Structures are given as C-alpha cells and as structure tokens.
Amino acid sequence: MAGLATARILKDAGHNITIFEALPGRGMDSHSIEFEGGLIDAPLRVMNQHLWKNTLSLATHLGIKTFPVRTFMACSWLFEDKTETWLTTSRTRIGNFPIINNRKGIKQYGWRLVKGMLQLKTAISQFFKSKNQDITLADFINHNDIEEVFWHGAVMPVLYTICTCDPKTIGEWPAKPLLIFLKQLTDGDALLRLHGGTPAFVDKLIEGIDIHSGSEITKVEEQGSAVLVENAQGEQFQFDRVVVATPTNKLENFLNKQQFADDIALLQKFKFEQGELVMHTDASVMPPNRKDWAVLSYMMDRKFTKQQFTVWLNSIEPSLVGKSPVFQTWRPVTSIDPKKVISTVTLTRAVVDSQTVALNIELQARHKVANRKVFYCGSWSCDGLPILESAVTSAMHIAEIFGAPLPFVGLKPKVEVAPQLGY
C-alpha cells in the first residue's frame, strides 16, 4: 500500500512513475483470488473512519465508495471434549455499541465482561489524562486490574486480529496507539469496507502508471546524478529518484552495501514477524452451532496460551453471498482439512516497540538531507499501528519531501447502504 499510494500521489503531482513489483500481481492485491465467482481479499480489510482516515480519504478522492459492516464476534473454548462457544456478540441499533447476545455468555460470563468493559474504559480515560503515556501495553495491564476473561478472552483477540503478531510481542508495543484503537472500538464507531475490495482500490492507485509485475529488484545503486535499478531479469533502468517500499529486512538483497551502509544499519533495527493466512472451506474453525457463526470467530484454550482467529468472508463480502462458506484463518492452531484449503499466504507484519518512534524520527531526518536520491516508506515507517493507515501516512511523508500536494486529506468517505450480506 505504501508504494502504491506514493506512486499515485507523485504521479498526480506530475512525476513520471515506474513501479517494480516482485510478486506476479499488483502490490497489496497480489494475493486476492476468485472463489465461485466472488472475491477473496487476502487479507480481508475493513476500516474505522477515524483510525484509517487518510486511507479512506484517499479512496474517496479516487472515487471509491464504502459500505458499513457489522463485525460481530464469537468466542469458543478449544482443546476440550466438546468445542463450547462461550460468547457471541452483536451491536445495538442505536449507537452501534457491542452487546452480549447469547444466554450462556450472559449467564456464565456476563457480569465479568461488563465489569471488564467498565474497568477498561476507566483505565483508558486515566491513561490519556496521565503525563506518562510512553509505556507498553504490558505495563498498562500490569498497572490496571482488568477482568481476565474480558481482557484475554475478548480484548486481546481483537488486538491480535489487527496486529497479527504473537500475543507476547503485542505486550511490548507502545500502549497509546492500541488504546486509541480500543477507545474508538468501544465507543461504537462502525467499520467500513471498500466496494470492490482491494482490487478496486489498486485499479485506481495504478491508473496510468507503468507497473512491472513479477519484477524483483536485485540492485539499487547511485551512479552520478542518477540511480540504477536492476531486476531479476537483468533489465536495467535509470531514475532521478527511487522510493523503496518493502520490509526493511529485505533491503540487503538489493541496496548497494557500500553506498547505503548507514541506511541498512538503521533500517535493520526495525523488526518483523511472519505468519500464515489460510483461505479455506473447513467449518471446523467456526462455532459448532451454525446460529452462533459470526464475522469473527475466536478460538482459545481456557488458559489463553493458544488461540486463533477466523474471518467468515461471506458475511462481509457481497460477491460471496450465496456461495459456499469460505474462511480466512490466521496462524491456525487446529488442523484444517488439506482438501478444503483454497490458498495459503505468508504475510509479513511490522512489530512496534519502544525503539520504533526514535528510529522513525531518525529516518525522516535522513530523508530531508539535500540532494537525497533514495527514500524509504512502508507501514513500518511512521508512528501508530502498522496497518494501511500507516502505509498511506508514510506515503504522505514522501509527498511532503517532493513538494507534492495532498488533495485528498480531510475528505469524508462516501458511505452507501450496506448490501445484503450472509449473516
């Protein structure tokens, strides 16, 4: 997304742009596939209009409309004689606030979940009034007494969904961006999905731009006033300036090690995790009772040491309504029938820690050095959650350096009535 957004902004500012994409597709929709005539985004993306404001503004500027989605959830205990769904939720018609809607959840855990919600809201309010907001999420939890079932059974799975990192790693993240997200979530803000999903967005982002897919870069080297770029096919190109939009753990594969030694040393300090996203039709990842199925299915053991989450795509993607039930499961811990696997994708996610802010400040300072020719952007390269919004924000940082206008900033998303979905 960072590279595509940068390309679009600079193209509209009058620059001649060429995109080199290592994968056969087009950047962030390289893993999108067709299923029974419908669309599977990998990963599926929904956005809050406050937390993804630049991303949705850019989409609106490009003429893409959105529709609201209702992300209900179901939580089930795993690794027992019988899979038990202990919580299902819906949202109120007025205010869109999350509520428990299953009798077992209310009877067994209702008071604990309500208590945890009130404790979390109080703790978040106190956090934003405090002077010390430079703490980790683990510090935040250690400083506040929040009901365990609510926190580990309902909150951490949601953060796990957004961050797609190991739960221990999430504990090391700065608390502030995660608490901002949780505040927006518990305040009842609806999530939006783009009409046509990621492919529709990418169509607009690359319109009129020369893109080379399946063109992995093997060399980036400054030669006088130009930058030489060479791909795996041995083709060579020269440019005035180059923007590198890739995880920083891959830079050594193509950056000239002598010319960019200082950059490589800095950028290697950013951390990343990888995991597998499995697209499949195996309903064993969902609650055993069909009536309990929800957009998000979380499964965990009672000690909260093992967990997985699954998205039921038919309930959130209009083109899949009426098709066979199809799911995305992130890092499955239960067996998925190999015969029911549609596709498996390895995704890389940036990890945020106490060093990230300082690293990004240093990176942006280097970008502003006179006569600089090579720049870096990505969801990892600015403060906040490393999601599409961070990617677009990093593209805006590059645009500022190039003096490119940002006409989309502040535009409100065009929200249409939700199409009929499968829930």
End-to-end CA distance of the chain: 30
Rg (CA), the chain: 22
Listing DSSP states for 345-390 in one string gives EEEEEEE--TTHHHHHHHHHHHHTSTT--EEE-STTSSSS-SSHHH
Question: Is pLDDT above 50 for 284?
Answer: yes
Whether residue 365 lies inside any domain: the answer is: yes
Query: Residue 182: what pLDDT?
Result: 84
User: Exposure of 226 by Cβ count < 10 A (0-12 exposed, 13-18 middle, 19+ buried)?
Assistant: middle
Whether residue 24 lies inside any domain: the answer is: yes
What is the phi/psi pair of residue 191, to 5°? -100, 150
pLDDT: is 221 or 174 the higher one? 221
Query: Residue 189: what pLDDT?
Result: 64
CB atoms under 10 Å from CB of 88, counted, come to 23
- What is the rounded distance in angstroms from the CA atom of residue 416 to the CA atom of residue 68? 8
Q: What is the largest CA-CA distance in the chain?
A: 72
Question: Is pLDDT above 60 for 8?
Answer: yes
* pLDDT band with cut points at 50, 70 and 90 for residue 401: very high
CB 137 within 8 A of CB 178: yes
Whether residue 350 lies inside any domain: the answer is: no
- One-letter identity of residue 84: E
**405-423: average pLDDT:** 80
- One-letter identity of residue 139: D
Query: Residue 172: what pLDDT?
Result: 85
pTM of the model: 0.90
**47-57: average pLDDT:** 90
CATH code of the domain in which 50 resides: 3.50.50.60
Query: Residue 102: what pLDDT?
Result: 65
* pLDDT band with cut points at 50, 70 and 90 for residue 105: low
**38-64: average pLDDT:** 92
Whether residue 387 lies inside any domain: the answer is: yes
**306-327: average pLDDT:** 93
Question: Is pLDDT above 50 for 423?
Answer: no
CB 352 within 8 A of CB 239: no
Q: How far is CA 415 from CA 66, 94, 97, 224, in A?
A: 5, 18, 19, 49
Question: Taking all residues of the chain, what is their mean pLDDT, rounded to a whole number?
Answer: 89
What size, in residues, is the chain?
A: 423
Question: Is pLDDT above 80 for 38?
Answer: yes
**368-392: average pLDDT:** 88
Query: Residue 419: what pLDDT?
Result: 65
Whether residue 263 lies inside any domain: the answer is: yes
Question: Is pLDDT above 70 for 44?
Answer: yes
Q: Do strands 341-351 and 296-300 pair parallel, antiparallel, or not at all (unpaired)?
A: unpaired
Q: Residue 228's domain spans which residues? A: 2-65+193-271+355-402
Specify the range with the lowest mean pLDDT, choosing from 12-16, 101-105, 299-303, 334-338. 101-105
Query: Residue 170: what pLDDT?
Result: 84
* pLDDT band with cut points at 50, 70 and 90 for residue 27: confident
Query: Residue 234: what pLDDT?
Result: 95
CB 9 within 8 A of CB 399: yes
* pLDDT band with cut points at 50, 70 and 90 for residue 286: very high
pLDDT: is 163 or 258 the higher one? 258
- What is the rounded distance in angstroms from the CA atom of residue 173 to the CA atom of residue 368? 28
Whether residue 221 lies inside any domain: the answer is: yes
**399-417: average pLDDT:** 92
pLDDT tens for 229-247 read 999 999 999 999 999 999 9
Give the contacts of 360 (CB within 8 A, at least 6 positions apart): 381, 382, 383
Q: In this structure, what token pair is assigned to residue 352?
A: 């945020």
Question: Is pLDDT above 70 for 98?
Answer: no
Whether residue 158 lies inside any domain: the answer is: no
pLDDT tens for 125-165 read 999 999 888 899 999 999 999 999 889 888 888 888 777 77
- One-letter identity of residue 158: V
**263-282: average pLDDT:** 93
* pLDDT band with cut points at 50, 70 and 90 for residue 93: low
> Domains in the chain: how many in total?
1
- What is the rounded distance in angstroms from the CA atom of residue 308 to the CA atom of residue 305? 10
Whether residue 37 lies inside any domain: the answer is: yes
Give the contacts of 138 (CB within 8 A, at least 6 positions apart): 171, 172
Q: Would you call 137 helix, strand, or coil by DSSP?
A: helix
DSSP state of 25: S
**306-331: average pLDDT:** 93
